């Protein structure tokens, strides 16, 4: 560890595997972080790793010695937060035998299933979720009703939601019946419940939603509720996608 070089507190927390950089910023604002026994609640605060003592909720934090990367096929009925006041099952509960402290990269809502990356690599997590890097996310959305081509075109061009116009999406019809349609939807944004809201906007409520790709990383045939460690070539591909290599 290099002593003497200053580092932003939220970046240090992410590097320690506490949370993503954005979540770390929330923790700082909430007064959950201390530096040298003093609560720090301001953004932009810098520390000297190896010299300053950093604590989160009374526990000292230090960088993880080994960066780890896990691909989980998230089942429905599991939350992607690390702490749930309602006591619901968390994605980290599914990672049996993982010694390192990891956190989910981005979110899948409670009902949604599919690909979820968990890691203690704060910089990679930050880049994969930051809009600037435009990392594509692909979903299989089973919706109610028969989706017409005009509705597909609306999604492809962008639809107006309460938080603004969505970016153009890549949309394919996988299966279409009278009662339901299976869509493959690829977006490069990460708004809350975005795919669900997009489909509702065109008049088709979602029956089930599953993420199958994150950038170059694919879910493949991993069974629901199962996880595996990423292969080295997958890690390299993710880093390349967000300009880390």
* Fold match between domain 69-131+217-241 and domain 136-214: yes
Domain ranges of the chain: 7-60, 69-131+217-241, 136-214
Asked if the 136-214 domain carries CATH number 3.30.70.1560, the reply is yes
Q: What are phi and psi of 144, to 5 degrees?
A: -75, 140
The answer to whether 25 and 10 have CB atoms below 8 angstroms apart is: yes
Q: Residue 24 corresponds to which tokens in the numbers above?
A: 């770390």
Q: How far is CA 213 from each of CA 117, 140, 205, 238, rounded to the nearest angstrom?
A: 10, 10, 22, 12
Looking at the annotation, which residues are catalytic?
109
pLDDT digit string (tens) for 105-162? 988 999 999 999 999 998 899 899 988 999 999 999 999 999 999 999 999 999 999 9
Question: What average pLDDT does range 200-211 have in this prediction?
Answer: 97
Given a cut of 70, is residue 222 above it in pLDDT? yes
CATH class of the domain comprising 7-60: alpha beta
CA distance 220 to 65: 29
Q: Which CATH architecture has domain 69-131+217-241?
A: 2-Layer Sandwich (3.30)
- Specify the 3-state DSSP secondary structure of 196: helix
Q: How far apart are CA 222 and CA 224, in angstroms?
A: 7
The torsion of the CA quartet 141, 143, 149, 152, rounded to 10 degrees, works out to -40
Q: What is the pTM of this model?
A: 0.80
- DSSP-derived 3-state class of residue 17: coil
**Per-residue pLDDT reduced to its tens digit, 15-53:** 888 888 888 899 999 999 999 999 999 888 999 988 899
How far apart (Å, rounded) are the C-alpha atoms in residues 214 and 138?
A: 7
């Amino acid at each position: 560890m290099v002593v003497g070089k200053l580092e932003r507190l939220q970046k240090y927390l992410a590097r320690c595997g506490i949370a993503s950089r954005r979540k770390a910023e929330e923790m700082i604002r909430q007064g959950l972080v201390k530096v040298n026994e003093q609560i720090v609640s301001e953004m932009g605060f810098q520390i000297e790793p190896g010299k300053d003592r950093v604590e989160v909720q009374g526990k000292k934090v230090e960088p993880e010695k080994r960066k780890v990367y896990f691909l989980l096929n998230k089942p429905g009925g599991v939350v992607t937060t690390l702490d749930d006041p309602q006591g619901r099952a968390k994605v980290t509960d599914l990672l049996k035998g993982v010694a390192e402290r990891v956190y989910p990269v981005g979110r899948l809502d409670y009902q949604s299933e599919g690909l979820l990356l968990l890691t203690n690599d704060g910089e990679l997590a930050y880049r994969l979720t930051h809009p600037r890097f435009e990392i594509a996310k692909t979903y299989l959305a089973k919706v109610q009703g028969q989706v017409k081509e005009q509705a597909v075109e609306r999604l492809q061009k962008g639809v107006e939601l309460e938080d603004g116009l969505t970016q153009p999406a890549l949309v394919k019809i996988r299966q279409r019946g009278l009662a339901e349609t299976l869509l493959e939807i690829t977006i490069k944004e990460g708004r809350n419940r975005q795919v669900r809201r997009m489909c509702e906007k065109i008049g088709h409520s979602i029956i089930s939603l599953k993420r199958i790709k994150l950038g170059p990383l694919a879910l493949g045939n991993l069974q629901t509720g199962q996880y595996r460690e990423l292969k080295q070539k997958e890690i390299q591909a993710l880093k390349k996608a967000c300009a880390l290599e």
